[in-house]
Amino acid sequence: MAGKRKTRVGVLFGGRSGEHEISLRSALTVMSGMDPGKYEIVPIGIGRDGRWYLPSDAIAMLKEATPKLRALGRGGTPVSLLPHPEGRALVTTPTRNGRAPVASGKRKPSLPGPLDVVFPVLHGTYGEDGTVQGLLELAGIPYVGAGVLGSAVGMDKDLQKRLLRDAGIPVVRYFSVGRADADGVPELARRIAGELGYPVFVKPNALGSSIGINRVKAPAELTAALEDAFQYDRKVLVEAACEGRELECAVLGNDRPEASIPGEVIVKGHEFYSYDSKYVDAEGSETRIPADVPSAVSDRVRALSVASFKALSLRGMARVDFLLNRDLSEIYVNEVNTIPGFTNISMYPKLWQATGLPLAKLIDRLIELALEDHRERSRLKFTYQPGR
């Protein structure tokens, strides 16, 4: 009797965002945690140029990557995902000379059959913002994580904070500033920062991994911080500082989400939890799981995490980041990440490991949730015929 067919999982990584390298690191962790007895892994790389690739040696290439991780896009077979709900398959795309690529030996490249589910391990623009999720919806493929709306809102820090605030969830005071407003009224940002009180944090509206974020201690530093943030987005946030402690909590589920135990990020030798302290300086930060806080604070963080997940209409997974003042009397949701990191230092898998769900089981559960959500949405009607 033939064995049960493995679930074919497309792992989508790389991308055009500033978080390209982090995505590659996360993909390595996700693929290493997949049970080869259950899953047929189909690695799908997206180069910095936006081309999709299905290299036969994608996994080996990732494992051999340098510490900075080489960008994908060299060699391999360019592929595309057609937005057709009955296909669910990758197809080869023409090269610059207009011909479809062929593998060595002049044979047509071998492509996997229809994908059962896609695990997007894409961070930032064109991956975490609802764009890829929309493509997968059109193609009718189940996928891990939040849908189009939840992903878009989760990426847009300004809209995210507005929804959280309207739901009664505490966020720090902040203002959003558009490029045109900043150019047209040069004193606007200075006036905003003065109202919030220094230090303030200036950050791109829709980016992660602390890219483009600066802690501004005085008015003289504000212009440079704005220019840095505006490199990555046309809208930036100027936020009041809440300096004390930083906690993170992982959420898992669809209609009945659950929160992990909270963990704490402890920054060393840096002013805040910056990109360098996360990924460049090996001694720049450490994590403490569980966080050393009173049980009442831990319970409050978990409750706010689930409430935030629901307020933003999320599915599957999210990591909720918190800012607390030093005496723990104030707790604010800093931001919600719909595709949290899965690197070897990332909190999301570590938090679930400490809560009793190891990486392999966590990945199983995320794939189950994706298939469950797709089944439920497939029952909905998309046409209307009067009288029926």
Q: How far apart are CA 216 and CA 196, in angstroms?
A: 12
Residue 386 lies in a domain: no
**Residue 91 sits in the same domain as residue 196:** no
What pLDDT score does 5 carry?
87
Write down the mean pLDDT value for the chain: 85
* CATH number of the domain enclosing 28: 3.40.50.20
Pairwise CA distance, residues 59 & 64, whole Å = 9
Same domain, 109 and 178: no
Q: Cα–Cα distance between 315 and 346 in angstroms, integer?
A: 20
Which of 86-90, 122-126, 218-222 has maximum average pLDDT?
218-222
- pLDDT band of residue 66 (cuts 50, 70, 90) is very low
pLDDT given for residue 310 in this prediction: 98
Q: Is residue 284 part of a domain?
A: yes
> What is the reported pLDDT for 96?
54
Tens of pLDDT, residues 164-208 = 999 999 999 999 999 988 887 778 888 999 999 999 999 999 876
Same domain assignment for residues 22 and 136: yes
Q: Does 148 fall in a domain? A: no
Whichever domain contains 233, its CATH number is 3.30.1490.20
Tell me: do 327 and 269 sit in the same domain. yes
Residue ending a domain, choose from 240, 262, 292: 240
Let me know whether 247 and 236 are in one domain. no
Q: Identify the helix (H) or strand (E) that includes residue 334.
A: strand 331-337
Q: How many whole angstroms separate alpha carbon 148 and alpha carbon 131?
A: 7
Supply the range of the domain harboring residue 316.
154-167+243-375
Q: How confident is residue 50, by pLDDT bands cut at 50, 70 and 90?
A: confident
Q: Answer whether residue 18 is part of any domain.
A: yes
283 secondary structure, DSSP code: T
- The pLDDT score that the predictor gives to residue 268 is 72
**Sorting pLDDT into bands at 50, 70 and 90, what band is 56?**
low
Assigned domain for 1 exists: no
Q: How many domains does the chain have?
A: 3
Last residue of a domain, one of 240, 263, 279: 240
- Among the listed residues 147, 160, 134, 179, the one whose alpha carbon sits nearest the alpha carbon of residue 254: 147
- Judge whether 388 lies within some domain: no
- In terms of domains, do 232 and 307 share one? no
Q: Which is higher by pLDDT, 187 or 155?
A: 155
Domain annotation covers residue 312 = yes
